[in-house]
């Protein structure tokens, strides 16, 4: 557990070449203030359109003005949250971010009349707008509005529902305050008796450690605490799903899941078929768990054993070296894509290193009128390389979509976003695996794919099935309790991981640590993204790149499953999922085989 101490620098001590070019958004805070003032005035002006959306001319004028304001707000918010994330201790950055959030809320309120007024004009009139070439930039938005018409309430009912929004977030807020701010965990200890402070953050370090005593101690301390509070946590989850049921029934959906999947135009039938295809292919996962137990020298593994690396092959990779690896691994995507990657490096789209008070983790962010940005905390490890190529996937996706689509069709769904980032990870993994001659490193890379499949396909589908089961309880007027949640979750553990997993008194309460359950029916998107990324990567490595690039360029011009079909990927057929499971089996067989001779 000993690590060399890394000095964290003040931001101004980091070379400018490794800091993002935030000045491309605004060259100064005075320029930011000027746009802020302009947006504030525009928000007042757009209110003048209320009760006037009767003719095509006025409607088009209003929509264009709305988008003009929205583009300024996107730029303001992107700049302010980036300034805050650079150094969260600066009071001016805190104020700037808070003011931008307030302005966004004011804009949402000021423009809330637009959709109800358009709907009041009736389907026939809206169909005319779709066919009018002047409304080409808005045809998908209007089509989607027509879809929502059966679920739109009266004006007074909509106002009542809107007032419940803050209440609906209460279970999530309580959950996060309790588990992040209030929970205190007993220290963990290793095989030598040395103690380690346990937090939500350090837990992920300890369960990857080779010392099984440390892993078990951390596991029992963490989930022992969750179990002490399981009744309260069951109540917050119960209330969260009851709010979901309230919205689904109030808006006349058949079920909670129908309501949740509606925005992406995904059917309940597909969701259930996705679960079924994965559950009918659990044997490969069981074989992998058996391999884990064998390599770790255990008769059976427990939950705290699942994350420990099976092969220890770590090497340092400088940021400069990582750029060459990224470009070479993504070269099958073609010149247009690689040119954008090179621009990301040369034009300082990336904020590379950690500095004092910089936000942790990594992300990509963008607004329509300026190139995307990437935040990293690069430390030179292999995982940092994968994080960078993942975020580059998001950034280039945004760059291509923004260049190819009008503003109204540039924003893409989470399903599409996950495909763009994970495809890059798979291309990098394949590149590194092909180009290593070290058997341990090769096995480590193969194991990374197996772990990614376990955690992103199998585990997320386990979560998806858990959500389906508990939503059906709520829809059938039953309540969620610690007892029935623990039972459902542990039965799924046994089913998904098979005979080589040993459950225990804490394994059933793991549901209580999954924050995604407070954003219901979200996790399946990780599994579909991972599966489609594998499908695209196979085609890209076979020199079929054009359809994938066109998919990225399509942005949010249609629903995600329709965009995939246009790119030749029929997700509803579940072929991408089948291919991913097939690839999982191949890598599992390959992991103990010697590398092929060149």
Task: Please name the helix (run of DSSP H) or strand (run of DSSP E) that holds residue 371, with its range, or none.
Answer: strand 370-375
Task: Please name the helix (run of DSSP H) or strand (run of DSSP E) that holds residue 553, with its range, or none.
Answer: helix 546-553
Taken in order 296, 300, 302, 306, is the CA torsion positive or negative?
positive
Tokens describing residue 15: 């070379």
How far is 472 from 23, CA to CA, in rounded Å? Answer: 50
Task: Please name the helix (run of DSSP H) or strand (run of DSSP E) that holds residue 350, with its range, or none.
Answer: strand 350-351
Class of residue 204 by CB neighbours under 10 A (exposed 0-12, middle 13-18, buried 19+): exposed
Alpha-carbon 474 to chain mean position = 26
Tokens describing residue 478: 């039953």
Q: Answer yes or no: 495 catalytic.
A: no
Number of H helices, E strands in the chain: 26, 5
Kindly give, in sequence order, each residue whose CB lies less than 8 Å from that of residue 476, ignoring residues fewer than 6 positions away: none
- DSSP summary character for residue 455: I
User: Do residues 373 and 349 touch, judged by C-beta distance below 8 A?
Assistant: yes
User: Do residues 205 and 222 touch, judged by C-beta distance below 8 A?
Assistant: no
Kindly give, in sequence order, each residue whose CB lies less than 8 Å from that of residue 294, ignoring residues fewer than 6 positions away: none
User: Do residues 492 and 242 touch, judged by C-beta distance below 8 A?
Assistant: no
| Alpha helix ranges (H) inside 87-164 | 91-110, 114-120, 123-131, 139-148, 155-163
Q: List residues bridging with 195 in a β-sheet.
A: 189
The pair phi, psi for residue 552, each rounded to 5°, is: -65, -40
Task: Please name the helix (run of DSSP H) or strand (run of DSSP E) that holds residue 366, with its range, or none.
Answer: strand 363-367
Each residue of 122-137: b (16+ CB within 10 Å) or e? eeeebeebbeeeebeb
Residues comprising the chain, all counted: 598
Catalytic residue among 86, 216, 354, 391: 391
User: Do residues 506 and 203 touch, judged by C-beta distance below 8 A?
Assistant: no
Each residue of 274-283: b (16+ CB within 10 Å) or e? bbebbeebbe
Tokens describing residue 287: 């074989």
Give all strands (DSSP E) within 145-261, no chain letters. Answer: 188-189, 195-196
How far is 430 from 424, CA to CA, in rounded Å? Answer: 10
CA 136 vs CA 60, 209, 242, 384, 536: distances in Å: 11, 56, 39, 42, 30
Q: Rounded to the nearest 5 degrees, what angle is found at the Cα of 24, between the Cα atoms of 19 and 27?
A: 100
Rg (CA), the chain: 25
Kindly give, in sequence order, each residue whose CB lies less than 8 Å from that of residue 528, ignoring residues fewer than 6 positions away: 274, 415, 418, 571, 576, 577
Q: List residues bridging with 363 in a β-sheet.
A: 375
As annotated, the active-site residues are 391
């Amino acid at each position: 557990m000993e690590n060399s101490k890394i000095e964290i620098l003040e931001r101004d001590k980091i070379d400018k070449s490794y800091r993002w070019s935030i000045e491309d958004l605004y060259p100064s805070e005075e320029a930011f203030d000027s746009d802020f003032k302009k947006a504030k005035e525009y928000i007042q002006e757009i209110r003048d359109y209320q009760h006037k959306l009767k003719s095509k001319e006025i409607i088009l004028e209003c929509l264009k003005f709305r988008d003009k304001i929205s583009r300024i707000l996107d730029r303001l918010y992107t700049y302010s949250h980036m300034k805050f994330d650079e150094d969260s201790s600066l009071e001016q950055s805190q104020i700037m971010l808070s003011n931008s959030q307030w302005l966004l809320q004011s804009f949402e309120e000021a423009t809330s009349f637009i959709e109800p007024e358009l709907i009041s004009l009736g389907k026939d009139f809206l169909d005319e707008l779709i066919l009018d070439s002047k409304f080409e930039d808005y045809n998908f938005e209007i089509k989607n509005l027509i879809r929502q018409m059966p679920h739109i309430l009266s004006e007074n009912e909509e106002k009542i529902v809107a007032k419940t929004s803050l209440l609906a977030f209460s279970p999530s807020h309580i959950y996060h305050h309790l588990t992040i701010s209030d929970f205190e965990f007993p220290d963990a200890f290793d095989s030598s008796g040395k103690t380690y402070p346990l937090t939500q953050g350090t837990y992920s370090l300890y369960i990857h450690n080779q010392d099984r005593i440390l892993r078990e101690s951390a596991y029992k301390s963490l989930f022992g605490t969750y179990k002490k509070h399981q009744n309260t946590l069951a109540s917050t989850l119960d209330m969260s799903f009851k709010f979901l049921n309230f919205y689904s029934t109030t808006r006349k959906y058949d079920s909670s899941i129908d309501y949740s999947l509606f925005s992406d135009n995904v059917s309940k039938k597909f969701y259930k078929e996705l679960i079924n295809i994965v559950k009918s292919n659990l044997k490969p996962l069981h074989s992998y768990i058996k391999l884990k137990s064998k390599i770790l020298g255990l008769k059976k593994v427990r939950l705290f054993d699942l994350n420990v690396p099976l092969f220890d092959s770590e090497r340092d990779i400088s940021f400069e070296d990582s750029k060459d690896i990224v470009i070479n691994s993504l070269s099958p995507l073609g010149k247009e894509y690689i040119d954008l990657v090179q621009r990301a490096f040369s034009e300082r789209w990336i904020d590379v290193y950690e500095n004092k008070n910089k936000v942790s983790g990594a992300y990509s962010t963008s607004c329509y009128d300026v190139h995307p940005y990437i935040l990293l905390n690069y430390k030179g490890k292999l995982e940092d390389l994968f994080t960078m190529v993942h975020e580059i996937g998001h950034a280039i996706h945004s760059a291509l979509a923004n260049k190819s689509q009008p503003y109204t069709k540039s924003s893409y769904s989470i399903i599409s976003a996950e495909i763009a980032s994970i495809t890059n990870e798979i291309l990098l993994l394949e590149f590194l695996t092909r180009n290593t001659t070290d058997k341990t490193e090769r096995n480590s890379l193969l194991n990374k794919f197996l772990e990614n499949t376990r955690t992103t396909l199998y585990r997320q589908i386990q979560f998806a099935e858990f959500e389906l089961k508990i939503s059906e309880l709520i829809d059938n007027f039953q309540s969620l309790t610690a007892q029935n949640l623990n039972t459902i979750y542990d039965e799924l553990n046994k089913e998904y991981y098979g005979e080589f997993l040993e459950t225990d008194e804490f394994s059933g309460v793991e549901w209580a640590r999954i924050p995604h359950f407070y954003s219901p029916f979200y996790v399946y998107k990780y599994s579909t993204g991972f599966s489609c990324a594998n499908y695209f990567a196979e085609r890209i490595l076979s020199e079929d790149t054009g359809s994938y690039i066109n998919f990225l360029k399509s942005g949010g011009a249609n629903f995600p499953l329709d965009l995939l079909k246009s790119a030749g990927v029929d997700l509803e057929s579940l072929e991408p999922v089948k291919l991913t499971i097939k690839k999982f089996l191949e890598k599992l067989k390959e992991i103990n085989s010697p590398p092929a001779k060149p």
